[in-house]
Structure formats: C-alpha cells, structure tokens
Amino acid sequence: MKISMQNLIKFMKSRKGFLVLIAIAFGCLFIAFTNNSNNEDGITSLEQKKKLLAAIGTLLEGQHYSPKLINDAFSKKVFKKSLEEIDGEKNILLKADIDILKKYENTIDDEIHGGDIVFLPTISAIYDKRFKEVENLFRDNLSKPFDFNVDEEFVTDEEKLDYPINEKERNERWRKKMKYLTLERYVDLLDQREKLLNKDSAKTDAQLEQEARDKVLKIMNRTFERIKSTFNEDKRFNAFINIIANAMDPHTDYFPPVEKRAFDEQMSGRFYGIGAQLQEQDGVIKIASLVAGYPAWRSGDIEANDIIVKVAQGKEEPVDISGFDVTDAVKLIRGNKGTEVRLTLKKQNGTIKVVSLMRDEIVQDESYVRSAIIKEENKKIGYIFLPDFYADFERADGARCSEDVAKEIVKLKKEQIDGIVLDLRNNGGGSLYEVVQMVGLFIKSGPVVQVKDKDGKVTVLSDNDPSVLYDGPLAVMVNGFSASASEIFAAAIQDYKRGLIIGSNSSTYGKGTVQRNIALGKPVDFASGRTEYGAVKLTFQKFYRINGGSTQLKGVTPDVFIPDSYEFLKFREKDNPASLPWDEISKATYEVSPNQNGLQNTISNSNLKVAQNSNLSIIKSNGAWLAQNNLKPASLNIAKYRGQQKLVKTTVEQINTLSKLTNDMNIEVTESDKAKYFKNTDKAKGDRYQAWLKLIKSDLYIDATKNILVNYLNENEVAVIKK
C-alpha cells in the first residue's frame, strides 16, 4: 500500500481540519426570504440564492477585518478555486470545457454584486455531463487485466497537470489512475500470499490481479454513488459560497444550517442524537458502540455491528444511506432535542428492524480535558491533555475548558505533583474568552492578548484575578497543528516567562485572526440560536501577543524544538496565499514571572541535547525525504513500484519506531479518575480511556518534555542548595 501524506495535507488545509478561534460576540443578519422547505442544506430557488449571495457579498465587503475588493481580480481567484474544488485531479473536465468557462472568469464579482447567477449552473451542467462519461471510463478500464511489467508512471501531484486536451488523453489519465489503485492492492495481495502457510491453497497471480481490480471497482462504484446521492445542487451552491468567503481569508466561512449545527456541537461538546458511535465498513454504516444511558442503549433494540440501512425524520420517507460516509450519516441522525428519528437496521442475523428513537442531549465528555501522573526518578509530573478550547455558552452549567483544566490541576495538586506538562498539540483553538481565563490560572493579573479591529482600535484582554491556581514548574507542548487559542496561550506563557514552550515543529500553525458568527435568516431553534440559512463565520479582528507581535503567519516559535516528521509539509497559515499578512503593534505593559530561575539555562541545554540526538536527526531528515518523495510520480511497473514502496515503508517504519519509546513511561491515574473510568457501567468508555493511556505511555515527545521539566527541577534544586 502506498503510504501518502496528501490526504493529511488536504484535511489540514480545509476549514474542518481544526476548530477556529471564535469571539463571543454574535451578530445577526435577517434576510427576508421565504422558504417552505425544511432543507437543512440551504435554500432552493435561484432567486433566493441570488439574494443570499448578494447579502453575503455586502457583508464581506463591509464587515470583514481586511476586505479584498470584489472585482475582476477577486473573481479570477474564485474561478480558479472553483475548478480546483470540482475537479482537483483534473481528470473529469476537458481543456475545451475550461475554455468555455473562461468567459465567466471576470464576471463572478458581478454575480456577487446582485447579478444573475450563471457561472455555477454552467459549470454544474458541464460537470454532470463529464461525470457520466468518466463513470463509464473507470468501469471500462477495470474490465480487463493490467500489465504491470510496462514501464510507465502515474502523476500524483495534480499541480503538475493541465486539463486533458481531448477524451483520449482523459481516458489515458483514468487508465493510469485505475492501474495505480489496482497495483496498490495487487502488491498487498501478493505480500499476503507470501505469508500463507498452506501454499497449495494460494491463488494465482491472475486471480489476485482480478481480486485487486474487483476491490478498486467496488470502491469507485461506492465513491461515485456517494457523489451522486449527496453532492446535490444545494450543496454545490453552499460550497460555492464558501469558496467566495475563503477568498477573503482562509477562516471566513459559510455554514449552511446543518454545518452550523455541527460547528456548535463541536464547540460545546454537546449535541442531540441517539448516543451511538458509527463506523463505515465496506460501504455500509455500522453501529460501532453504544453510550450507556442514552437513547440507542436504552432502546434495547440496537447492538454493535448492526448496519444502518435507512434513516427517517419522524414520519417522513426514509433516506437510503448506502454509500454515505459517516459524516453525512451523522448529519441525518442528529437533530433537535425531543425529535424522532427512525433507523432501519439490518441485524447481525440478517433480519430487518425499524427502531424509533427520540433524540436526547449527548455530552461528549471524552472530547474534554484529561490528566494523568507521570513518575520519573523521585519526581511526579502532572500531564494534562487539552484537545480544544471548548466552551458551551448556551447553558449556565455548560462545559468550559478553563474550569475543567482548573479541576484537573486541583486533582493533580492533591497527588503532590512537582510540575505540570500541558499538551496543546493538534489543538486548533476555540474560545477566546476561555484562553484568557486559562492563562489566568498560571499568572497573577495582567494582559493576556491584544485584539485589533478593522478600524485600528486595540483592546487588551486581561486576567483580572490576582489569585494563581498553579505557580509551579510548567511546560507547554505544541506542534504545527496548534492554532489560534493554543497560540495565544503558548505566547502568553512565553512572554511572561512563566514556563517552557516545547514544540515538535519549528513554529505553531500561525492563525492570528478572530471570527464571529453572523446568523442568516429567521431563527428556527431559539435554544441553539440556529437560523434557516445558517451563518457566516467572519474574520473581524486580529490578535497580537502582549509583546506586540502577531501570531499570524509566524505562529509561536518554541523555546525547545524537538523535530517530528510533519515539519516539511505545507499545511500552515503561511502556506495559504489567501492568508492575511503578519504585522505588529505596540507592546502591552506586563511584568515577567519572578520564578524564572534557570529557565534560559534549561532551554539552552535542552536545545543542545536535541541537536546532538541522532534519532531526532533521523526523524527530521526522513520527514524531509517523505515530503519530497510524495510529490514524485509513482511507477506503474511492479518491480520499480515495489522498490519505491520499500523505501517509503522502511522510512515510515523507522520514523514510527523512533517516535515511540522502547520502554513505556510509568503513568498512573488519579484516584478520582479510577472511579470515573474503571468503576463506570460504560465498559466501552473505560476501554477507550485505557487505549488513550496506552497511547501516551509510549509517546516520545511527552517523554522528552517530561525529561526537560525534570532537568529544570533538578537544576533549580542544585541552584537553591548552592545559595
């Protein structure tokens, strides 16, 4: 199997790759549309879409922090991005199609300013025609055996391709793609055959090649059916609006109602559903596990491995979800509290059963903060993992990450820990209010972050509580996926010299902008604040460190940099051409921590040790090689392909081996967590917690950060003795 990082890069580039920083202020834009449908994907008539597009254009030009002029230059960017979104691999549309569409390259701005919507219907019609053509192409190419002894290549980097000039060239592109996908699976099957004990029962090369093509055909059929069933006219319009919003900056987005609901759920850690975890397997959606105490579990009619065939809203006609991915299936199953959802299930014994459930509030507490205790020598280090800066502002008793972190600190202090490691790796941010409160747990009162609006007005957000919950040794872990609120926190701790910032990339993500939600249309659910046409998440401020520098583009540079294999991938803010620039403002007034003895000495010594660590040097160089190799064409000659993959596999295995500890760390659970996870009736929950513990015990970067903190403790003990 080819080991590729492209999907990871694309995921991190997308607006769903991480939670964005949200301001607490909310605006409302009520547009006088009439819509008789309950379609959560958006509005249906062309006139409604025209009005919505014009309203959003006005909003972007008038309220965005740094609005780009919606002119011909802006139109060209939207045009180019639209083509990338609809046919990124350049194997559906032809060069002649692009030539036809070129006449709209400079007119999309006119549509945004209230003109007739022409570009999207035109490109959709062309796409639909070509889509039907390539649907036959992949089946034709998979209908006969491939010759893997021919010396040819498949270009995986679409940026190196132009659109095919004719159907013959497009067919050749699909032939190579199908051959490449088949080759991946064929080599896997050959490798599996080599491991068979009973060689007499082994399949022939021809049988394995046929099996590989059958697997690819199944995947492609499922993919095309999913596109046909889910990528409808409304979703294309929503995607088009989002392309326009993203052209202003990467974090200005349009959320249709169902997407807005998903965003709110992610921020709050709560949603209304049935309490079941789903998984996709071989083109079907299965029940993976049930959460004790919630509707699916209470029904007694739903079990793990049941296949969900159809989903219906109350008494409405059921929707067949064959070919759906988990995300789309979840959107149908979730809804407002107290509403009915009917699941048509195929049970493990083959029978079909329809189960009616009333949606209830589900609390995703496993997406909240967690902690453990790491024992090293005679020291006890508290480890706190924070996945998001979450906040549920809809409820007085809603989850707040600052309050939850405070509870974990109290638990750890009872265990008499000597220091704390706070892990913000892969934490994409969240609530601005919460990060200010959380910094306040570690410092006396003072500024935390500066915020500037579109008019140049600067506001300093401060912690006004002079009390300090934890004043001991602190290390904060970050990486290239730590963004927004994570960067505010790390920057404040660094500027106050309150602790050590340990990074597995040379800088954090580099998102220094603030967004707020502008609701569109009439309210449909007052409890959640959702409206009929969703919302625009609009960039309206930039934030700055208290030292005056922006985290935009540059991010936060760690005090100690421990290399990982993602350093050379292009997924950060600086890699997106639509990103706002870096700048700086005046420094705020603040005093650095008085307890910084030995901090700089530990930083210098730690960086020296990292530079001398041969294993970390190998991880870094291997990551650079993989990033470069991933852009090279893949050979379709089986001998050369196997040679390429052997190098890739060996390199990845070496990274994985070096990134895990040979001997697990000594990690213990606090007494209160033992009761929460090991004496709970929800066995699946306890199992998932055990899996999390197992994962962190072998984490090289947690171990390295713990060692740096222990060294800091030991060095300061020596310094105190000498005094």
β-pair type (513-520, 27-29): parallel
User: Which residue among the candidates 75, 402, 431, 484 is catalytic per the annotation?
Assistant: 484
Tokens of 95: 């060069």
Query: CA-CA distance, 218 to 625, in Å (whole number)?
Result: 33
Cβ-count burial of 649 within 10 angstroms (0-12 exposed, 13-18 middle, 19+ buried)?
Answer: middle
Q: Can 495 be counted among the known catalytic residues?
A: yes
698's CB contacts (< 8 A; 6+ apart) are: 660, 661, 664, 665
Whether residue 590 contacts residue 546, with contact meaning beta carbons closer than 8 Å, is answered with yes
Query: CA-CA distance, 149 to 491, in Å (whole number)?
Result: 55
Tokens of 351: 């029978």
Q: Can 484 be counted among the known catalytic residues?
A: yes
Q: Can 249 be counted among the known catalytic residues?
A: no
Q: How far apart are the first and last CA of the chain?
A: 60
Q: Give the DSSP letter string of 667-698.
A: EE--HHHHHHHHSSS-HHHHHHHHHHHHHHHT
Is residue 96 classed as helix, strand or coil in its secondary structure?
helix
Question: Which of the 8 DSSP states describes residue 159?
Answer: G
Whether residue 388 contacts residue 427, with contact meaning beta carbons closer than 8 Å, is answered with yes
User: Which residue among the candidates 495, 559, 699, 703 is catalytic per the annotation?
Assistant: 495
User: Which residue among the candidates 90, 179, 452, 511 is catalytic per the annotation?
Assistant: 511
Whether residue 372 contacts residue 383, with contact meaning beta carbons closer than 8 Å, is answered with yes
β-pair type (270-273, 360-363): antiparallel
Task: State phi, psi for 389 to the nearest 5 degrees.
Answer: -90, 70
Report the b/e string of 28-39 with b at 16+ CB within 10 A. ebebebeeeeee
Task: State phi, psi for 286 to the nearest 5 degrees.
Answer: -115, 155
Query: CA-CA distance, 608 to 611, in Å (whole number)?
Result: 5
Tokens of 331: 């959107």
Residues marked active site are found at 484, 495, 511
